[in-house]
Structure 1
Amino acid sequence: MKAVNVVKEQWVDMFREIGLSDEKMTEWHRVFERRNPEGHQEFLEWLNISGKEIVEIRAL
Structure 2
Amino acid sequence: MEAAMKFEAHEEVVSFDQEGKVVVNKDSQMSKKLMARRAIEAHLERKRLERDLEDFYAEEI
The structure carrying a bigger strand percent of its residues is 2
**Larger-Rg structure:** 2
Q: What's the TM-score, normalizing by structure 2? A: 0.34
Instruction: Choose between structure 1 and 2 for higher RCO, CA contacts under 8 A separated by at least 6 residues.
Output: 1
The structure carrying a bigger helix percent of its residues is 1
Q: What's the TM-score, normalizing by structure 1? A: 0.34
